Amino acid sequence: MSLLRFVVPVVVAAVAAAAPASAQPRDFADEAKIMYRVVACGGDAPLPAGIDATLIAGHCATVTPWYAHLDGHYVQKARAFLAKVRPAGLPATVVYPFGGGDLLSALITYPDATEITTISLEHAGDPTRVTAATRAQLKSALATYRSVVRQLFVNHDSASDNMKKLERGAVPGQLAMFISALAALGYEPVKLTFFEIRPDGTLHHYSAEEIAGLATTRAKRKKRSWVDTDYSAAFTNSELTFRKVGEPSAPLIVHRHIAANLGDEAFPTSGLKRHLEAKGKVATMTKAASYLLWLNNFSGIRNYLLGHMVWMVSDSTGVPPRFARKAGFVQTTYGRFAGSYLPASETENEAFRKLWEGQPSRKLGFRYGYPDVEGNVHLMITASKVTP
Protein backbone atom coordinates (compact mmCIF):
# COMPACT_ATOMS: atom_id res chain seq x y z
CA MET A 1 0.00 0.00 0.00
CA SER A 2 1.39 3.38 -0.95
CA LEU A 3 1.88 5.80 1.92
CA LEU A 4 1.96 8.88 -0.29
CA ARG A 5 -1.79 9.44 -0.22
CA PHE A 6 -1.76 9.35 3.56
CA VAL A 7 0.96 11.90 4.30
CA VAL A 8 -0.50 15.11 5.69
CA PRO A 9 0.96 18.11 3.82
CA VAL A 10 3.50 20.07 5.81
CA VAL A 11 1.98 23.51 6.23
CA VAL A 12 4.83 24.99 8.22
CA ALA A 13 8.47 24.05 8.54
CA ALA A 14 8.58 24.42 12.29
CA VAL A 15 8.45 21.32 14.44
CA ALA A 16 5.64 20.85 16.92
CA ALA A 17 7.52 22.33 19.85
CA ALA A 18 7.88 25.65 18.05
CA ALA A 19 4.15 26.40 17.96
CA PRO A 20 2.90 29.15 20.27
CA ALA A 21 1.75 27.88 23.64
CA SER A 22 -1.54 29.71 23.12
CA ALA A 23 -2.38 27.89 19.88
CA GLN A 24 -5.76 26.13 20.02
CA PRO A 25 -5.84 22.33 19.77
CA ARG A 26 -6.74 21.05 16.31
CA ASP A 27 -10.24 19.57 16.54
CA PHE A 28 -10.86 16.55 14.30
CA ALA A 29 -14.59 16.43 15.10
CA ASP A 30 -15.51 16.40 11.41
CA GLU A 31 -13.20 13.45 10.76
CA ALA A 32 -14.60 11.62 13.78
CA LYS A 33 -18.14 12.10 12.46
CA ILE A 34 -17.07 10.76 9.07
CA MET A 35 -15.64 7.67 10.76
CA TYR A 36 -18.86 7.34 12.76
CA ARG A 37 -20.86 7.22 9.52
CA VAL A 38 -18.47 5.37 7.20
CA VAL A 39 -16.69 2.89 9.48
CA ALA A 40 -19.05 2.50 12.45
CA CYS A 41 -22.24 2.82 10.38
CA GLY A 42 -23.70 5.23 12.88
CA GLY A 43 -26.51 7.58 11.89
CA ASP A 44 -27.70 8.41 8.39
CA ALA A 45 -25.70 11.51 7.50
CA PRO A 46 -24.82 11.92 3.82
CA LEU A 47 -21.56 10.28 2.82
CA PRO A 48 -18.61 12.58 2.11
CA ALA A 49 -17.78 13.28 -1.52
CA GLY A 50 -15.50 10.63 -2.91
CA ILE A 51 -16.72 7.82 -0.65
CA ASP A 52 -18.35 5.04 -2.64
CA ALA A 53 -21.93 4.59 -1.44
CA THR A 54 -22.16 0.98 -2.65
CA LEU A 55 -19.02 0.04 -0.76
CA ILE A 56 -20.30 1.55 2.50
CA ALA A 57 -23.77 0.06 2.05
CA GLY A 58 -22.22 -3.39 1.81
CA HIS A 59 -19.96 -2.77 4.77
CA CYS A 60 -22.84 -1.56 6.93
CA ALA A 61 -25.09 -4.41 5.87
CA THR A 62 -22.52 -6.69 7.52
CA VAL A 63 -21.70 -4.56 10.57
CA THR A 64 -25.12 -3.25 11.65
CA PRO A 65 -26.60 -6.67 12.60
CA TRP A 66 -23.60 -7.22 14.85
CA TYR A 67 -24.82 -4.41 17.09
CA ALA A 68 -28.09 -6.21 17.74
CA HIS A 69 -26.25 -9.44 18.51
CA LEU A 70 -23.86 -7.59 20.81
CA ASP A 71 -26.77 -5.96 22.63
CA GLY A 72 -28.52 -9.26 23.31
CA HIS A 73 -25.49 -11.35 24.19
CA TYR A 74 -23.37 -8.87 26.13
CA VAL A 75 -24.62 -5.32 26.64
CA GLN A 76 -27.94 -6.02 28.34
CA LYS A 77 -26.70 -8.97 30.37
CA ALA A 78 -23.56 -7.21 31.58
CA ARG A 79 -25.39 -3.97 32.36
CA ALA A 80 -28.00 -5.77 34.46
CA PHE A 81 -25.41 -7.79 36.36
CA LEU A 82 -23.07 -4.88 37.01
CA ALA A 83 -25.91 -2.61 38.11
CA LYS A 84 -26.59 -5.06 40.95
CA VAL A 85 -23.02 -5.41 42.17
CA ARG A 86 -21.62 -1.93 41.51
CA PRO A 87 -21.79 0.23 44.66
CA ALA A 88 -22.99 3.81 44.68
CA GLY A 89 -20.48 6.59 45.06
CA LEU A 90 -17.69 5.24 42.89
CA PRO A 91 -15.31 7.75 41.31
CA ALA A 92 -16.48 8.97 37.90
CA THR A 93 -12.88 8.69 36.66
CA VAL A 94 -12.01 5.28 35.17
CA VAL A 95 -8.58 3.85 34.32
CA TYR A 96 -8.42 0.76 32.11
CA PRO A 97 -4.87 -0.59 31.63
CA PHE A 98 -4.28 -3.03 28.76
CA GLY A 99 -7.60 -1.79 27.39
CA GLY A 100 -6.75 -1.37 23.71
CA GLY A 101 -9.82 -0.77 21.57
CA ASP A 102 -12.28 -1.55 24.35
CA LEU A 103 -14.13 1.65 25.15
CA LEU A 104 -17.23 -0.55 24.73
CA SER A 105 -16.67 -2.51 27.95
CA ALA A 106 -15.62 0.58 29.88
CA LEU A 107 -18.96 2.25 29.10
CA ILE A 108 -20.89 -0.91 29.98
CA THR A 109 -18.98 -1.41 33.23
CA TYR A 110 -19.08 2.23 34.33
CA PRO A 111 -22.12 3.94 32.75
CA ASP A 112 -21.80 6.96 35.04
CA ALA A 113 -18.17 7.67 34.17
CA THR A 114 -17.33 11.16 32.96
CA GLU A 115 -13.66 10.45 32.20
CA ILE A 116 -12.26 7.18 30.88
CA THR A 117 -8.60 6.42 30.16
CA THR A 118 -7.59 3.33 28.22
CA ILE A 119 -3.92 2.39 27.91
CA SER A 120 -2.34 -0.10 25.54
CA LEU A 121 0.53 -0.53 23.10
CA GLU A 122 -1.62 0.55 20.15
CA HIS A 123 -1.60 4.10 18.78
CA ALA A 124 -4.89 5.92 18.32
CA GLY A 125 -4.41 6.45 14.58
CA ASP A 126 -4.90 9.11 11.92
CA PRO A 127 -8.56 10.10 11.42
CA THR A 128 -7.86 11.76 8.05
CA ARG A 129 -7.06 8.41 6.44
CA VAL A 130 -10.63 7.44 5.57
CA THR A 131 -11.28 10.26 3.10
CA ALA A 132 -7.68 10.21 1.80
CA ALA A 133 -7.89 6.56 0.74
CA THR A 134 -8.65 5.25 -2.71
CA ARG A 135 -11.70 3.03 -3.06
CA ALA A 136 -9.46 -0.06 -3.20
CA GLN A 137 -7.54 1.00 -0.10
CA LEU A 138 -10.72 1.71 1.84
CA LYS A 139 -12.32 -1.55 0.76
CA SER A 140 -9.31 -3.54 1.93
CA ALA A 141 -9.02 -1.63 5.20
CA LEU A 142 -12.72 -2.03 6.02
CA ALA A 143 -12.46 -5.77 5.45
CA THR A 144 -9.54 -5.96 7.87
CA TYR A 145 -11.39 -3.81 10.35
CA ARG A 146 -14.49 -6.04 10.21
CA SER A 147 -12.37 -9.10 10.92
CA VAL A 148 -10.98 -7.43 14.05
CA VAL A 149 -14.04 -5.63 15.41
CA ARG A 150 -16.14 -8.76 15.01
CA GLN A 151 -13.97 -10.44 17.64
CA LEU A 152 -14.64 -7.54 20.01
CA PHE A 153 -18.37 -7.84 19.40
CA VAL A 154 -18.43 -11.64 19.74
CA ASN A 155 -15.81 -12.27 22.43
CA HIS A 156 -15.93 -8.83 24.09
CA ASP A 157 -12.13 -8.51 23.84
CA SER A 158 -9.48 -8.40 21.11
CA ALA A 159 -6.46 -10.61 20.49
CA SER A 160 -3.07 -8.93 20.28
CA ASP A 161 -2.32 -10.29 16.82
CA ASN A 162 -5.53 -8.75 15.51
CA MET A 163 -4.79 -5.41 17.13
CA LYS A 164 -1.44 -5.27 15.33
CA LYS A 165 -3.22 -5.47 11.97
CA LEU A 166 -4.86 -2.10 12.55
CA GLU A 167 -1.67 -0.17 13.34
CA ARG A 168 -1.40 0.70 9.65
CA GLY A 169 -3.69 1.49 6.74
CA ALA A 170 -6.72 3.52 5.77
CA VAL A 171 -8.83 2.78 8.87
CA PRO A 172 -7.17 3.80 12.15
CA GLY A 173 -7.97 0.79 14.28
CA GLN A 174 -8.14 2.15 17.80
CA LEU A 175 -10.19 5.20 16.87
CA ALA A 176 -12.47 3.08 14.73
CA MET A 177 -13.15 0.67 17.59
CA PHE A 178 -13.81 3.52 20.00
CA ILE A 179 -16.21 5.20 17.58
CA SER A 180 -17.93 1.88 16.86
CA ALA A 181 -18.52 1.53 20.60
CA LEU A 182 -20.30 4.89 20.49
CA ALA A 183 -22.51 3.70 17.63
CA ALA A 184 -23.25 0.42 19.42
CA LEU A 185 -24.28 2.08 22.67
CA GLY A 186 -26.14 5.14 21.43
CA TYR A 187 -23.49 7.85 21.70
CA GLU A 188 -22.09 10.25 19.11
CA PRO A 189 -18.71 12.00 18.79
CA VAL A 190 -18.52 15.71 19.56
CA LYS A 191 -14.81 16.51 19.60
CA LEU A 192 -11.51 14.76 18.82
CA THR A 193 -8.04 16.06 19.65
CA PHE A 194 -4.57 14.56 20.07
CA PHE A 195 -2.01 15.16 22.77
CA GLU A 196 1.34 14.31 24.31
CA ILE A 197 2.08 13.62 27.96
CA ARG A 198 4.78 15.84 29.37
CA PRO A 199 7.33 14.49 31.88
CA ASP A 200 5.43 16.12 34.76
CA GLY A 201 2.24 14.27 33.78
CA THR A 202 0.38 17.23 32.29
CA LEU A 203 -1.18 16.97 28.85
CA HIS A 204 -0.37 19.15 25.86
CA HIS A 205 -2.92 19.06 23.03
CA TYR A 206 -1.52 19.56 19.55
CA SER A 207 -2.42 22.57 17.45
CA ALA A 208 -2.86 22.37 13.68
CA GLU A 209 0.65 23.77 13.24
CA GLU A 210 2.16 21.18 15.56
CA ILE A 211 0.38 18.34 13.81
CA ALA A 212 1.65 19.60 10.46
CA GLY A 213 5.16 19.82 11.88
CA LEU A 214 4.99 16.16 12.93
CA ALA A 215 3.55 14.93 9.63
CA THR A 216 6.68 13.09 8.50
CA THR A 217 7.62 11.76 11.96
CA ARG A 218 6.34 8.22 12.15
CA ALA A 219 4.99 6.82 15.42
CA LYS A 220 7.20 3.97 16.60
CA ARG A 221 6.31 0.79 18.43
CA LYS A 222 6.08 1.05 22.21
CA LYS A 223 7.56 -2.40 22.76
CA ARG A 224 10.11 -4.41 20.81
CA SER A 225 7.69 -7.28 20.18
CA TRP A 226 5.02 -4.97 18.71
CA VAL A 227 4.83 -3.26 15.30
CA ASP A 228 5.62 0.20 13.98
CA THR A 229 2.76 2.25 12.61
CA ASP A 230 2.60 4.21 9.37
CA TYR A 231 0.86 7.09 11.21
CA SER A 232 2.35 10.39 12.25
CA ALA A 233 3.57 10.53 15.85
CA ALA A 234 0.95 13.25 16.39
CA PHE A 235 -1.77 10.58 16.30
CA THR A 236 -0.42 8.49 19.18
CA ASN A 237 -2.75 9.62 21.99
CA SER A 238 -6.36 10.68 21.40
CA GLU A 239 -9.00 12.55 23.38
CA LEU A 240 -12.52 11.79 22.20
CA THR A 241 -15.46 13.72 23.66
CA PHE A 242 -18.97 12.32 23.13
CA ARG A 243 -22.55 12.33 24.40
CA LYS A 244 -25.83 10.51 23.97
CA VAL A 245 -27.22 10.67 20.42
CA GLY A 246 -29.75 13.41 19.83
CA GLU A 247 -29.38 14.96 23.28
CA PRO A 248 -27.48 18.26 22.92
CA SER A 249 -27.78 18.92 26.64
CA ALA A 250 -26.58 15.46 27.66
CA PRO A 251 -23.41 15.35 29.80
CA LEU A 252 -20.18 15.18 27.85
CA ILE A 253 -17.91 12.18 28.45
CA VAL A 254 -14.19 12.33 27.78
CA HIS A 255 -12.26 9.27 26.66
CA ARG A 256 -8.49 9.40 26.40
CA HIS A 257 -6.49 6.64 24.81
CA ILE A 258 -2.78 6.54 25.61
CA ALA A 259 -0.29 4.37 23.74
CA ALA A 260 2.31 3.26 26.25
CA ASN A 261 4.39 0.36 27.49
CA LEU A 262 3.17 -0.47 31.00
CA GLY A 263 6.14 -2.71 31.79
CA ASP A 264 8.59 -1.79 34.52
CA GLU A 265 11.20 -0.76 31.95
CA ALA A 266 9.00 2.21 31.03
CA PHE A 267 6.07 2.96 33.34
CA PRO A 268 7.48 3.71 36.84
CA THR A 269 9.50 6.76 35.74
CA SER A 270 7.09 8.01 33.08
CA GLY A 271 4.96 11.08 32.71
CA LEU A 272 2.07 8.67 32.29
CA LYS A 273 2.48 7.43 35.86
CA ARG A 274 2.45 11.03 37.12
CA HIS A 275 -0.60 11.78 35.00
CA LEU A 276 -2.51 8.81 36.42
CA GLU A 277 -1.48 9.58 39.99
CA ALA A 278 -2.82 13.13 39.63
CA LYS A 279 -6.32 11.70 39.10
CA GLY A 280 -6.49 10.62 42.73
CA LYS A 281 -8.85 7.77 43.54
CA VAL A 282 -10.28 5.97 40.50
CA ALA A 283 -12.47 3.08 39.43
CA THR A 284 -10.59 0.53 37.34
CA MET A 285 -10.99 -2.54 35.21
CA THR A 286 -8.99 -4.90 33.05
CA LYS A 287 -9.64 -8.05 31.08
CA ALA A 288 -7.97 -10.25 28.48
CA ALA A 289 -4.70 -8.69 29.69
CA SER A 290 -2.38 -11.66 29.01
CA TYR A 291 -1.89 -12.16 32.78
CA LEU A 292 0.60 -9.29 32.81
CA LEU A 293 -0.50 -8.15 36.26
CA TRP A 294 0.72 -11.52 37.54
CA LEU A 295 4.30 -10.74 36.47
CA ASN A 296 7.11 -9.17 38.49
CA ASN A 297 8.04 -6.89 35.59
CA PHE A 298 4.62 -5.22 35.68
CA SER A 299 4.84 -4.35 39.37
CA GLY A 300 4.71 -0.61 38.67
CA ILE A 301 1.26 -0.54 37.09
CA ARG A 302 0.03 -3.13 39.61
CA ASN A 303 1.22 -0.96 42.51
CA TYR A 304 -0.38 2.10 40.92
CA LEU A 305 -3.72 0.30 40.75
CA LEU A 306 -3.53 -0.95 44.32
CA GLY A 307 -2.61 2.51 45.55
CA HIS A 308 -5.34 4.45 43.71
CA MET A 309 -8.27 2.21 42.85
CA VAL A 310 -11.32 1.78 45.04
CA TRP A 311 -13.14 -0.81 42.94
CA MET A 312 -12.01 -3.01 40.05
CA VAL A 313 -13.78 -5.40 37.71
CA SER A 314 -11.66 -7.99 35.91
CA ASP A 315 -11.35 -11.52 34.71
CA SER A 316 -8.52 -13.64 36.16
CA THR A 317 -5.97 -11.36 34.48
CA GLY A 318 -6.63 -8.88 37.29
CA VAL A 319 -4.58 -8.43 40.46
CA PRO A 320 -3.49 -11.75 42.06
CA PRO A 321 -4.97 -12.46 45.50
CA ARG A 322 -1.73 -12.13 47.47
CA PHE A 323 -1.17 -8.56 46.26
CA ALA A 324 -4.80 -7.54 46.67
CA ARG A 325 -5.05 -8.96 50.17
CA LYS A 326 -1.84 -7.27 51.33
CA ALA A 327 -3.12 -3.91 50.03
CA GLY A 328 -6.39 -4.24 51.95
CA PHE A 329 -8.76 -5.36 49.20
CA VAL A 330 -11.47 -8.02 49.22
CA GLN A 331 -12.03 -10.12 46.09
CA THR A 332 -15.41 -11.58 45.14
CA THR A 333 -15.69 -14.22 42.43
CA TYR A 334 -18.35 -15.07 39.84
CA GLY A 335 -18.57 -17.93 37.37
CA ARG A 336 -15.98 -20.71 37.48
CA PHE A 337 -12.19 -20.77 37.28
CA ALA A 338 -10.12 -23.93 36.80
CA GLY A 339 -6.96 -22.40 35.37
CA SER A 340 -5.61 -19.64 33.16
CA TYR A 341 -6.71 -19.42 29.55
CA LEU A 342 -3.09 -18.85 28.48
CA PRO A 343 -0.03 -20.50 30.05
CA ALA A 344 0.85 -18.56 33.20
CA SER A 345 2.35 -18.93 36.69
CA GLU A 346 1.20 -22.09 38.42
CA THR A 347 1.63 -20.39 41.79
CA GLU A 348 -0.83 -17.65 40.83
CA ASN A 349 -3.11 -20.16 39.13
CA GLU A 350 -3.36 -22.13 42.36
CA ALA A 351 -4.09 -18.95 44.30
CA PHE A 352 -6.93 -18.07 41.94
CA ARG A 353 -8.34 -21.60 42.11
CA LYS A 354 -8.36 -21.39 45.92
CA LEU A 355 -10.02 -17.99 45.72
CA TRP A 356 -12.87 -19.37 43.61
CA GLU A 357 -13.15 -22.61 45.60
CA GLY A 358 -13.35 -20.73 48.89
CA GLN A 359 -16.43 -18.73 47.92
CA PRO A 360 -20.05 -19.61 47.16
CA SER A 361 -20.82 -20.39 43.54
CA ARG A 362 -22.17 -17.26 41.86
CA LYS A 363 -23.52 -17.49 38.33
CA LEU A 364 -22.28 -15.33 35.47
CA GLY A 365 -24.28 -15.19 32.25
CA PHE A 366 -21.84 -13.52 29.87
CA ARG A 367 -18.19 -13.52 28.89
CA TYR A 368 -16.02 -10.80 30.44
CA GLY A 369 -12.51 -11.13 29.01
CA TYR A 370 -10.90 -14.53 28.78
CA PRO A 371 -12.68 -17.76 29.62
CA ASP A 372 -10.67 -20.12 31.79
CA VAL A 373 -8.72 -23.13 30.53
CA GLU A 374 -11.95 -25.17 30.42
CA GLY A 375 -13.97 -22.48 28.65
CA ASN A 376 -15.78 -21.25 31.77
CA VAL A 377 -16.76 -17.59 31.93
CA HIS A 378 -15.65 -15.84 35.08
CA LEU A 379 -15.35 -12.40 36.66
CA MET A 380 -13.78 -10.95 39.77
CA ILE A 381 -14.43 -7.79 41.76
CA THR A 382 -11.56 -6.37 43.78
CA ALA A 383 -12.89 -3.82 46.26
CA SER A 384 -11.46 -1.66 49.01
CA LYS A 385 -12.67 -2.64 52.46
CA VAL A 386 -13.57 0.95 53.26
CA THR A 387 -14.60 2.55 49.93
CA PRO A 388 -16.95 3.84 48.78
pLDDT in tens, 304-357: 999 999 999 999 999 999 999 999 999 999 999 999 999 999 999 999 999 999
Contact 316, 333 (CB under 8 A): no
Contact 236, 123 (CB under 8 A): yes
Q: To 5 degrees, how large is the angle CA 55–CA 57–CA 59?
A: 70
- The pLDDT assigned to 1 comes to 37
Is pLDDT above 90 for 383? yes
Q: Where are the beta strands (DSSP E) in the chain?
A: 93-97, 115-120, 187-197, 203-205, 237-244, 253-259, 282-286, 309-314, 329-335, 378-384
Average pLDDT, integer, range 168-196 = 93
Average pLDDT, integer, range 273-284 = 98
Q: What is the pLDDT of residues 72-106, one digit of tens each?
A: 999 999 999 999 999 999 999 999 999 988 999 99
Closest CA to 218 of 173, 270, 168: 168
Give the mean pLDDT of the chain: 90
Rounded-to-integer distance, Cα 263 and Cα 298, Å: 5
Class of residue 327 by CB neighbours under 10 A (exposed 0-12, middle 13-18, buried 19+): middle
Cα separation values, 123 from 51, 81, 263, 330, 371, Å: 25, 32, 17, 34, 27
Per-domain residue ranges for the chain? 4-286, 293-388
Q: What is the pLDDT of residues 138-162, one digit of tens each?
A: 999 999 999 888 876 765 455 555 5
User: What pTM was computed for the model?
Assistant: 0.91
Rounded-to-integer distance, Cα 17 and Cα 136, Å: 36
Average pLDDT, integer, range 34-63 = 96
Rounded-to-integer distance, Cα 148 and Cα 4, Å: 25
CA 227 vs. chain centroid, Å, equals 18
Is pLDDT above 70 for 19? no
Average pLDDT, integer, range 377-388 = 87
Closest CA to 185 of 74, 38, 95: 74
**Core vs surface per residue 180-216: b (16+ CB within 10 A) or e:** bbbbbbebbbbebbbbbbeeebeeebbbebbbbbbbe
Closest CA to 70 of 222, 225, 185, 213: 185
Is pLDDT above 70 for 167? no
Contact 230, 217 (CB under 8 A): no
Residue partners of 324: CB distance under 8 A and separation at least 6: 306, 330, 331, 382
Rounded-to-integer distance, Cα 238 and Cα 164, Å: 18
